[in-house]
Structure 1
Amino acid sequence: MEKFKITKKAKIAMAAACAVIAAFGGISFAQRTTLADYKNITLKKEKTTAKKSEIDSYIQQTQQQYQKEVKRAAKKGDVVIFSRSGTCKNKIINELHMASAQAILGKDQFKKGYDKQLIGMKPGQNKTFNYTYGKKDTSDHCAGKTVKVSITVKNVYEVPKLTDSFVKKNLMYDNVAAYKKYVKNMIETQKKKEAKSYYEETAWNKVMNGTTIRKYPKSIMKECNDQLDKFYRSSAKNQGMKWSAFIKNYFKTEAKYKSQLKKQAKKQAKERIVIQKIAKKEGISYTDKEYKKREKKLAENFGYQSVKNLEKNNDKSTIKAYIMKQDILKVIMKNVKYK
């Protein structure tokens, strides 16, 4: 059974489906809900400093983009493409078979000891050698065994050295130091972005998990259920699948689909109630001008060509709730404590 995957543009509908604030429904949940202390969230601080190994790995991949195939014997620093097979006591070990493997010689990145065997080999050359696996080495299902390995070199590539002239000519930086600084900043910027997303998701989950709802109104559950059902049926249509085939592929049976739908509807209904209560407590609302500006920005962020296209794929109440959730997250994150 294939797992259902959600496209980027569908994330708005799935993340904020049914999250309609009180202004749209006028329903009070005060007697049914105990809201989590959303201004007292503690999170573990993530490390966002770039490691030397991460910087080196990125630079190495960049260097390999400029590699050139050579017909000479492989030497330290080259990239070698080879095939591999192996036997143990004359029995073929299927796990050792690889039609194409890659090793950067001198780093033992493929498997310790292979570089020594590959250095000096030319394209088309074959070599057989004994290799003993450690008792705890389960990578090839050969722990503790001595196997006869056969390798055949297919290609040898020479990787240019990282020099000031290489960096200046190909990467448009004055020298190696300047390029390494750029790579370090780029990795750390990405790590900070990922950490921010992780903090927001974790904090929101803490708020959701810490909120207790004693009774879910039937009207809200039905609305959420209907919206999610509409989403799935639209997905089936967009994929050119009959509904029965869609159900079989992603949920196996109609009964399992309905069960899953009920769980998702309950989760979305809870999010609706949490957003409504926090928005009311924090006095979060928008003028028409403010809302139109935010809606335009949201359309751009999710790759829609216009607000009209955004509204064509998502109902207005869901869009407004999604925008409101982002402002609620700002309130939550402003008060987060890190340890």
Structure 2
Amino acid sequence: MNDATQNEKNSTSMSKMRKIERKKEIKKMKRDAYLSKIVSISLIVLVCVGFVALFAYSVQRSINRVRPSSDFSARLTEDGLIKDVQVSDHIVLGDYSNIIIPKSEVEYTDKDMEKDIQELLENHGTLETETDALIKDGDQVSIDYVGTVDGKEFEGGNTKNAGTDLVIGSGTYVDDFEEQLIGHGVGDKVTVEVTFPADYKEESLAGKDAVFEVEINGIYNIPELTDAFVKENLSEYAMTADGYKEYLKKSKYEDKLNTWLEDYLMDNTTVSSYPEKYIKHLKSIQKFEDQSYFEYMNQLYTSFGSTPPYASFEQYIGMSEKEYDAGLEKKVQDPAKMALLFQMIYQKEGLKVTLDEFDKYLGDKATEDYDTLIKSYGKGYIMQDLIHEKVLEYLKENSVIE
């Protein structure tokens, strides 16, 4: 009896134990399932957050990215004014009445003219590769060289047979490099020994002795400024040498005067804020122009059978596109300031550009027909340029040069 009872108790105890264990297993399974569910939900949430973050980053990057635009007149009215802008909300203009212009800062001297004419003639020079002439002071030559310091080549010291032009006596190269070429002729190979200045910009070369193995490729034949030369090359400006000098004197003086007035206005104008839409527009135009010039440079090299110097736009600008875009804001601020201040004077003084002035401007500037020019830039962009000229004329009439 006691044994039977004890066995029954034992059986009951084991049954309870199994039930308890089973309950524990079920409870554990439920807990594991719950935890698994939580983990799964957490992973889904994290993935979703990741996608949202990635999407947000992509959107933000897209927003920050400057898109180039060739629509030069997009933010201008047909009258050349900046759209939706009250200029007085953005700038405080300095006093521009009775401006006194120092004559010494705008005059175009005979020395200036001689320099400009010499540069012009050098640009029209022809390279003579078969001549018995010897190099003399003032000659423009084409050379190649390999430079070494302590027997080792240094960066920037090798033309790599690409040829480089040099005017003898210009002081372009260090020490007496140029003078050591005098008396040599085309095809000669000359060993030139120089010493870099102690304060040379490249510290690793400062004060060092260098040896250049130079080969003379040719000597340029520089034309003279004659009536025949002017008629053949400069007929859009004049028909005689004296006539071209007069044109140069007048146009260069006007350029210096205009630049002085622009600098004066910029220095005496304060910007409180820049119109956001106009700044965005200028950034797009600037990027379009920079990219266009990059493509033009590569096409130019290709047309001459040479390898383009830049493999990408980023290589051309010397930075990432992201860095370039970030820098555009500052780059376009001065052009924006200039446009704002000239528009303010134009409106304040009640100036107007006439239809005749518009047509004359196109006639003077255009290398294309009227319709093509309007289509390329838009009337607003051309009018804005005319506003600039109109204001400069007004300021010159109301300024004193002394």
Name the TM tier (shorter chain): 0.5 to 0.7
Determine which of 98, 113, 127 is the counterpart of 2:176: 113
Distance in 2 separating the partners of 1:153 and 1:72: 12
Structure 1 residue 17 and structure 2 residue 76: aligned?
yes
Assess if the C-alpha contact under 8 Å between 2:174 and 2:194 holds in 1.
Answer: no
Q: Which residue is 1:97 aligned to?
A: 158
Is the CA contact (8 Å cut-off) linking 1:19 and 1:268 kept in structure 2?
Answer: no
1:183-194 equivalences under 5 Å are 184-194=245-255
SS at match of 1:82: strand
1:198 Cα deviation from its structure 2 partner:
0.8
State the SS of the aligned residue for 2:156: helix
1:74 to 124, 128, 134: 134
| Equivalent in the alignment of 1:37 | 95
Give 1:152 shift: 2.4
Per-residue deviation at 1:88?
Answer: 2.2
Correspondence for 1:306 among 370, 373, 380: 370
Give distance in 2, aligned partners of 1:103 and 1:232: 33
Match of 1:83 in 2: 144
CA deviation after TM superposition for structure 1 residue 117, in Å: 3.3
Count, aligned residues: 303
Alignment deviations for residues 182-227 of structure 1 (CA, whole Å, 9 cap, x no partner): 66445423421321331342244356x15x76x99xxxx5774786
Q: Secondary structure at the match of 1:96?
A: strand
Select which of 153, 158, 165 maps to 2:216. Answer: 153
SS in structure 2 at match of 1:199: helix
Cα distance in 1 for partners of 2:243, 2:261 equals: 27
Match of 1:131 among 194, 200, 213: 194
1:167-246 equivalent positions in 2, closer than 5 A: 167=226, 184-206=245-267, 209-210=269-270, 221=275, 224=278
User: Letter of the aligned partner of 2:349 in structure 1?
Assistant: E
1:220-299 matches, cutoff 5 A: 221=275, 224=278, 252=321, 275=343, 278-279=345-346, 281-285=348-352, 290=354, 292-299=355-362
CA 1:326–1:64 in structure 2 vs 1: closer, same or farther (change >3 Å)? Answer: closer
Aligned residue number for residue 48 of structure 1? 108
**What corresponds to 1:176 in structure 2?**
none
Asked if 1 retains the 8 angstrom alpha-carbon contact of 2:194 and 2:209, the reply is yes
State the secondary structure of the residue aligned to 1:152. Answer: strand
Q: Is the 8 A contact 1:55 1:184 kept in 2?
A: no
8 Å Cα contact 1:17/1:228 also seen in 2: no
* Structure 2 unaligned residues grouped into runs of 5+: 1-65, 233-239, 296-311
- Tell which has more relative contact order, 1 or 2 (C-alpha 8 A, sep 6+): 1
- Distance in 2 (CA, whole Å) between partners of 1:129 and 1:147 is 8
Output the amino acid matched with 1:128.
T
What is the CA–CA distance in structure 1 between the aligned matches of 2:223 and 2:376, rounded to whole Å?
53
2:37 counterpart residue number: none
State the one-letter code of the partner of 1:114.
F
Query: Structure 2 counterpart of 1:117, which letter?
Result: Q
Structure with greater Cα Rg: 2
- Rounded Cα–Cα distance in structure 2 between residues aligned with 1:274 and 1:258: 27
Query: What's the secondary structure of 2:94's corresponding residue?
Result: coil
Distance 1:167 1:89, change over 3 A: same
Selected match of 1:143 from 206, 209, 213: 206
Unmatched 5+ stretches in structure 1: 174-178
Q: Is the 8 A contact 2:101 2:399 kept in 1?
A: yes
Tell me by how many angstroms 1:51 deviates: 0.6
Structure 2 CA distance for aligned equivalents of residues 307 and 201 of structure 1? 31
Quote the offset at 1:54 in angstroms. Answer: 0.9
Letter in 1 for 2:250: T
Secondary structure of residue in 2 paired with 1:39: coil
